[in-house]
Amino acid sequence: MKLVFSVLLITILCAFTLPLDNNNTANNPFFQEWKTPYQTPPYNEIKNEHFLPALIEGMRKQKAEVDGIINNPVEPTFENTIEALEKSGELLTKVNNVFSNLLSANTNNELQNISQESSPLLSKHYDDINLNEKLFSRIKTLYDKKNTLTLNSEQKRLLERYFKDFTRRGANLNAEEKDKFRKINEELSALSLKFNENVLKETNSFMLIIDDENDLSGLPASAINAAKEEAVAKGYENKWVFTLQGPSYRSFIRYANNRSLREKIYKASNQIANNDNEYDNKTIVQKIISLRSQKAKLLGFKTFADYVLDDYMAKNPQRVYDFLLKLWEPVIIKAGREIQDLKEFAVSEGNTSKFEPWDLSYYAQKLKKAKYNLDDEMLRPYFKLENVFTGLFAIVNKLYGIQLVERKDIPVYNEDVKVFEVKDSEGRHLGLLYADYFPRDNKQGGAWCGVLRDQNNLNGIITSPVTFNVGSLSKPTSDKPSLLTLREVETLYHEFGHALNNLFSNVTYPRLTGANVAWDFIELPSQIMENWATDPEVLRMYAKHYQTGEAIPDELIKKIKDAELYNIGIATTSSLLFPALIDMDYHTRTDDSLFDIRAFEEKTFSKYNLVQELGSPYPSTQNGHIMPETGGYAAGYYSYIWAAVLDADAFELFQEKGLFNKDVAYSFKKNILEKGNSDDPLVLYKLYRGREPKVDALLKKLGVN
């Protein structure tokens, strides 16, 4: 699941002069104090034309602020250099956080054009500050004498982070190398924008239009009704339309009896941006991988993975490979057995054709129903979105004492969006959460969490966080509310865990706040929340039938628990381990030349003996986690399974002490959720757990111990 944290905007940006375009500035909301509750974005006033002038003015203002730091005749101090950098760029960060969110969650052609125009300006902006010799000299002076400075632990951490950030962004390069570095960053930024646009456009270009009702055989009524409404919305009367949006695609691939149509929609999904047309991303992927390799070598690293991991918990590629391959062997064996079970079941069902990837989800649902008398449609009535929210709020209230109250007086960017005020155990304002959960043609697929405003306590003034969760869950229809699958429930819990990380943050400096942590630590707060979603005690709290209000029956809860390990080998292989391995293979390349992406993928499938029936998990041309710079997971996709070790080990303490044990919850909140990046992740984890993490709990959870 994708995460968007505008990490680059939390760092210091640029130093070059741009004139302010005075057109429409008087009515530009970004140049005025926001009178909305908690100074939230006035989306009802913000127009597309406001962004570019505000971005330019934000860069101009920060240039002046950074120039003031560089030209300060006073010897560098923590306050006049590091704190001053933290305080700079307020307008730019404010504008870009709003813009980035809309670009991903509610985009249009005009916003995409603005992004294309502003991207090279911002790329230069970032590089001008990161590559400024005078500024880096001030930072290095402080870093070299850090042990003699009177700094608290958070200030020392911030100084260390700035020094490392600047060195990793080219501050030590010579003039010629800096010029190359700038060009690489600018090209990567442009390629990333084009990559995302191609994925979105190709996703939206496909429709499976059905006019024969017989082709709907096997599909649940909820999917049929949704397809009918989609057809009407797209101007097709008396037809049904299925798309590549998550809920629509998943329903069809799992339930449709028409095998040829399953093949059609599967291949359309699997080949997104890989069709040798105007939206093809293969060349873009080649260039991104090559440029990253060049960038890493400029900075003195053997590969891009070495560069990335030097700043993560794992530290180096070999440690990641050792970790992944230790899990790969037992998990791929388990996946192979599960595939064989599905193939045998398919034959028993009369399928004498070769078992293909578009058969996997279909027969997986059927076999699950046969073995456990359980499928997603049996559970949907108990997972009404509003009930899931109510239950989730009750859980975090029991754990942490917080309350969430919907605020209808705060402007939103789309009618699907809801806003919740989060209050602490004393009823005091803690922050705001925007929830945007339904798919749209103008929204990127997947699910993610981000920020509109980071928590900080600069100048002793508390700035409360504003965070958002975005997803593509099952939409309501004309006759039913939004009824989720169990996996969608877990996704909602997952993203809410990220939101808690932002909401509970209690640090002084924005650079260290919330989820601005090592990337292989970032998934702990989110993944641990998923454990509560399916706990029997918790299910009884929130899983109520949307029509009768009756709690989910114990027999259904038992079926959920009995089926907990069903096809877990397939799921872990295709969604976690294999994407992590191919990510590492891409980013440990030492050859900077362009290469055949299809051949590379096929070679990787063979190298790891990937089960053919799994198809091509998360193909490179649409992998929004590792390919575009905005994805954040390049050479870091392993973070999900790495964090699975942490979350299983961390949740085990709740299992030992009690699911809602106040002491354990307080320790997790105090040592993990509140601390952000104010200390080393392993130090924080040990403060919570009392020891380093162990893999045992995960192996047990995967059923391979």
Q: How far is CA 232 from CA 210, 228, 377, 475, in A?
A: 12, 6, 24, 15
Residue 559 phi/psi, 5° resolution?
A: -65, -40
pLDDT at 12: 30
Two tokens at 183? 């060009």
- Return the pLDDT at 4: 39
24 compared with 354, residue with greater pLDDT: 354
Q: What is the pLDDT of residues 202-217, one digit of tens each?
A: 999 999 999 999 999 9
pLDDT exceeds cutoff 60 at 9: no
Task: Give Cα 434 to chain centroid, integer Å.
Answer: 15
3 state SS of 433? strand
Q: Are 608 and 351 in contact (CB under 8 A)?
A: no
Mean pLDDT on 270-296 = 97
Q: 213-268 pLDDT, tens per residue? A: 999 999 999 999 999 999 999 999 999 999 999 999 999 999 999 999 999 999 99
Closest CA to 343 of 117, 652, 676, 567: 567
CA dihedral 255, 260, 263, 268 (to 10 degrees): -110
The answer to whether 18 and 59 have CB atoms below 8 angstroms apart is: yes
CA angle 518, 11, 14 (to 5 degrees): 150
Taking each helix axis from N to C end, the angle separating 317-348 and 357-372, rounded to the nearest 10 degrees, works out to 70
Query: Could you tell me which of 643, 645, 651 has the C-alpha nearest to residue 702?
Result: 645
Percent above pLDDT 90 for the chain? 92
Please compute the mean of the pLDDT values over residues 56-66 and round it to a whole number. 97
- Answer whether residue 5 shows pLDDT above 70: no
Bridge-based pairing of strands 240-242 and 403-406 is unpaired
What are the tokens at 76? 């560098």
Enumerate the domain spans of the chain. Answer: 7-130+132-168, 206-270, 381-562+639-702
Which CATH number is 381-562+639-702 given? 1.10.1370.40
Q: DSSP state, 240?
A: E
Answer whether 679's CB lies under 8 Å from 153's CB.
yes
Pair 647, 531: CB distance under 8 Å: yes
Residue 82 near residue 162 (C-beta atoms within 8 A): yes
Span 115-132, average pLDDT: 95
Average pLDDT, the chain: 94
The catalytic position among 495, 530, 613, 652 is: 495
Residue ranges of E strands in 170-254: 208-210, 240-242
Would you place residue 540 in the very low, low, confident or very high pLDDT band (cuts 50, 70, 90)? very high
User: Quick one: pLDDT at residue 275?
Assistant: 96
Residue type, 440: R
* Residues 672, 678: Cα–Cα separation, whole Å: 10
Q: Tell me which residue of 445, 399, 449 sits closest to 618, measured CA to CA.
A: 445
Split at pLDDT 50, 70, 90, the class of 6 is very low
What is the rounded CA–CA span in Å between residue 667 and residue 661? 10
Query: Which residues does 564 contact at the CB level (< 8 Å), separation at least 6?
Result: 534
283-301 average pLDDT score: 97
The torsion of the CA quartet 25, 30, 35, 41, rounded to 10 degrees, works out to 140
Please indicate whether the domains covering 7-130+132-168 and 381-562+639-702 agree at the CATH topology level: yes
Least confident among 32-36, 87-91, 477-481, 673-677? 477-481
The pLDDT, as a whole number, for residue 165 is: 96
CA distance 705 to 700: 5
pTM: 0.92
Residue listed under structure tokens 């990793």: 168
Is 510's pLDDT higher than 70? yes
DSSP-assigned letters across all residues of 76-98 = P-IIIIIIHHHHTTHHHHHHHHH
How large a percentage of the chain has pLDDT more than 70?
96
CATH architecture of 7-130+132-168: Orthogonal Bundle (1.10)
Q: Return the pLDDT at 703.
A: 87
CA dist 694 and 175 (Å) reads 46
Q: Where are the alpha helices (DSSP H) in 71-174?
A: 84-87, 90-105, 109-130, 133-144, 153-168
Enter the tokens of residue 617. 């998990």
CA atoms within 13 A on the CB side of 461: 4
Q: What is the pLDDT of residue 24?
A: 55
372 alpha-carbon distance from chain centroid: 32
So what's the pLDDT on residue 26?
A: 75
Query: Residue 525 in contact with residue 32, Cβ under 8 Å?
Result: no
pLDDT tens column, 596-649 = 999 999 999 999 999 999 999 999 999 999 999 988 999 999 999 999 999 999
Rounded CA-CA distance 553/558 in Å is 9
Active site residue 692: no
pLDDT computed for residue 45 by the predictor: 97
Residues 256, 508 contacting (CB under 8 angstroms): no
Q: Does residue 19 carry a pLDDT above 60?
A: no
User: How far is 402 from 496, CA to CA, in rounded Å?
Assistant: 13
